[in-house]
């Protein structure tokens, strides 16, 4: 049985670490390295750095609900900023959208530097850049969003009975539909192909399934980043 195109690409372009050695790939998520270089900051941190004569704002860590407010303050405090570099495991989806819109309004290019990973809500901050760079071995990592992350809370609601379960499912479906619509609108505004949602993001599992395929995340290849206009500069 042949490999799917993205699996073939993952094998052909086996990601290289800074030292030139082949990265160990994730057996569960075969398009991605086993170890992804996310920031460990529990709350996104903004740090000014000078690189190649440019004033760069490093944006690293989890995306919390007030990230757009703090980003705006960081941009004002450290102006002028010529690029924003991103390294994050994601967080609040709507906050990520808001931060991305702020970056677009400011007109500042974004970059995922070599070896760094930008996942989930971080995708939307990154796509806010009018000019977007994904460096070699930089990773734009997507998944299917889910509102079911708190499994204990879900079990508690389901245990209350049929009516509570139906109400919970209705709330999840409604909010998921709203967020999907917001994401679609965001991509249109940012000049990114909506096929990124339908062909990639929405094809992923929200949670690992019980069958053989347990993949829940997808690392775009360099060709895919260009195809969907995620990266529009080199």
Query: Domains of the chain by range and CATH?
Result: 5-227 (3.90.226.10)
Q: Give the pLDDT score at 23.
A: 77
Q: Give the pLDDT score at 223.
A: 96
Instruction: Indicate the pTM of the whole model.
Output: 0.79
Q: 202 with 210: CB under 8 angstroms? A: no
Which of the two residues, 184 and 95, has the higher pLDDT score? 95
For 19, which DSSP code?
Answer: T
Q: What is the mean predicted confidence (pLDDT) over 45-63? A: 97
Angle, nearest 10°, between helix axes 162-190 and 93-106? Answer: 20
Q: For 122, how many CA atoms within 13 A lie in the half-sphere containing its CB?
A: 29
Q: What is the mean predicted confidence (pLDDT) over 87-111? A: 96
Taken in order 24, 30, 34, 39, is the CA torsion positive or negative? positive
Average of per-residue pLDDT values in the chain: 82
Q: Give the pLDDT score at 85.
A: 98
Q: Residue 102, Cβ neighbours under 10 Å: how many?
A: 18
Q: Give the pLDDT score at 202.
A: 81
Find the angle CA(93)-CA(95)-CA(47) to the nearest 5 degrees: 115
Q: Is the pLDDT of residue 87 over 60?
A: yes
Q: 140 with 126: CB under 8 angstroms? A: yes
Tokens of 38: 């996310």
Q: What gap in Å lies between CA 123 and CA 230, rounded to an integer?
A: 9
Q: What is the mean predicted confidence (pLDDT) over 19-39? A: 84
Q: What gap in Å lies between CA 108 and CA 35, rounded to an integer?
A: 29
Q: 46 with 71: CB under 8 angstroms? A: yes
Q: 132 with 220: CB under 8 angstroms? A: no
Q: 139 with 116: CB under 8 angstroms? A: yes
């Amino acid at each position: 049985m042949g490999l799917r195109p993205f699996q073939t690409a993952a094998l052909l372009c086996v990601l290289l670490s800074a030292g030139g050695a082949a990265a160990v790939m994730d057996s569960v998520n075969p398009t991605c390295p086993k170890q992804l270089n996310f920031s460990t900051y529990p709350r996104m941190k903004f740090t000014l750095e000078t690189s190649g004569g440019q004033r760069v704002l490093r944006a690293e860590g989890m995306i919390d609900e007030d990230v757009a407010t703090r980003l705006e303050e960081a941009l004002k405090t450290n102006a002028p900023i010529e690029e924003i570099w991103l390294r994050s495991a994601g967080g609040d989806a709507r906050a990520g959208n808001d931060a991305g819109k702020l970056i677009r309004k400011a007109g500042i290019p974004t970059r995922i530097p070599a070896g760094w990973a930008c996942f989930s809500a971080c995708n939307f901050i990154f796509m806010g850049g009018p000019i977007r760079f994904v460096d070699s071995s930089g990773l734009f990592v997507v998944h299917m969003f889910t509102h079911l992350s708190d499994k204990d809370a879900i079990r508690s609601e389901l245990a209350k009975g049929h009516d509570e379960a139906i109400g919970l499912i209705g709330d999840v479906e409604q909010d998921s539909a709203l967020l999907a619509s917001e994401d679609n609108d965001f991509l249109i505004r940012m000049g990114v192909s909506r096929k990124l949602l339908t062909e990639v993001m929405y094809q992923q599992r929200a949670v690992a399934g019980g069958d053989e395929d347990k993949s829940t995340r997808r690392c775009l290849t360099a060709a895919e980043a260009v195809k969907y206009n995620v990266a529009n500069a080199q």
